[in-house]
Amino acid sequence: MLTEGFSLINILRIGIDIALVWYVLYKLIMIIRGTKAIQLLKGIFVVVVVWVLSIVLNLHTIQWLTNQAILWGFLVIIILFQPELRRALEQLGRGSIFTRSGKSEEEKIDETIDSIVSSTEYMAKRRIGALITIEQETGIDDYAETGTPIDGVLTSQLLTNIFTPNTPLHDGAVIIKQNKIVAAACYLPLSESEFISKELGTRHRAALGISEVTDALTIIVSEETGAISCSKTGELLRDLDGDQLKQFLINNLKDGSKQNEVKSDKKKGNENG
């Protein structure tokens, strides 16, 4: 009987079953990665942990509240995750959820970094003002919706052309997600910090503002001086050259490269003077 239960065919069937479930879960995580759904999933995890603790510690009121949250949670998830679920179903219909991209993730990141650095250096030399925001884990679709949709593959030529003076989209921020330009002429929240240097303008305040509410990276090219700056988590790194900008992007966009942070010779934007 035991031999029958653990026959080779049964073991293969169980292995295939588990592998398919994990693969589908992995693909779904890749689809919602970088969106606000990730933050909502973390919230759901917290609710489940509180529910388990309330049972263990016999906390009746908290248990009742978490039971209600879980009871209605399925409907709430459908409403809140509607864009992500629709995108997943669209990809499933096209068959793209099971296809493999021709380029590796690392190659795409390298191309993204090279395109941004090349375009930024070009604009800095010619004092073309620019504001480039790169989405990370926290979704910034709300800000992308304030601009004009582009949904084009990122190239240095396209990025430079968007910020060329007197063109319709040059004023505002460009939002980049992975290797695509999602939208241009976007409005970003301005920082209200009192410690920002008076010499900094609206672009720098917007770059700091988005970095205070999300984990996005933002690159600024000053129209007055051509200086390159970068913002991250409420800090501004100023007066970068092309090599420093590239290292900053490598450190923050490539996995496992956080240890080589940009050198301390760059000024912080929240210093006075």
Asked if the model's pLDDT at residue 244 lies above 50, the reply is yes
265 pLDDT band, cuts 50/70/90, is very low
Q: What is the pLDDT of residue 174?
A: 95
CA dihedral 31, 32, 33, 34 (to 10 degrees): 120
124 pLDDT band, cuts 50/70/90, is very high
Task: Measure Cα distances from 186 to 95, 145, 159, 164 in Å.
Answer: 32, 7, 14, 16
pLDDT digits 0-9 by tens, 74-100: 777 777 667 666 766 666 666 555 555
Q: What is the pLDDT of residue 1?
A: 44
What's the mean pLDDT in 197-226? Answer: 90
> Taking Cα atoms as reference points, which of 26, 102, 43 lies closest to residue 77?
43
Given a contact cutoff of 8 angstroms between Cβ atoms, the answer to whether 189 and 209 are in contact is yes
Q: What is the pLDDT of residue 181?
A: 93
Which H/E stretch holds residue 37?
helix 36-56
Q: Return the minimum-mean-pLDDT range out of 4-13, 44-53, 108-117.
A: 4-13
> What SS3 class is residue 93?
helix
Q: What is the pLDDT of residue 91?
A: 62
Q: Which position has the higher pLDDT, 93 or 196? A: 196
Q: What is the pLDDT of residue 122?
A: 94
> What are the backbone angles phi and psi of residue 22, rounded to the nearest 5°?
-65, -40
CB atoms closer than 10 angstroms to residue 48:
14
What is the pTM (predicted TM-score) of this model?
0.60
Asked if the model's pLDDT at residue 134 lies above 90, the reply is yes
Enumerate the domain spans of the chain. 2-98, 105-267
Structure tokens at 183: 């939208």
Q: Return the minimum-mean-pLDDT range out of 41-45, 82-86, 120-124.
A: 82-86
Q: What is the pLDDT of residue 254?
A: 77
Q: What is the pLDDT of residue 37?
A: 62
pLDDT digits 0-9 by tens, 158-169: 999 999 998 888
Asked if the model's pLDDT at residue 230 lies above 60, the reply is yes
Q: What is the share, in percent, of the chain residues with pLDDT greater than 70?
A: 77
Task: Measure Cα distances from 109 to 105, 176, 243, 257 in Å.
Answer: 6, 12, 16, 13
Distance of alpha carbon 121 from alpha carbon 123, whole angstroms: 6
Q: What is the pLDDT of residue 61?
A: 87
156 pLDDT band, cuts 50/70/90, is very high
Domain 105-267 -> CATH class = alpha beta
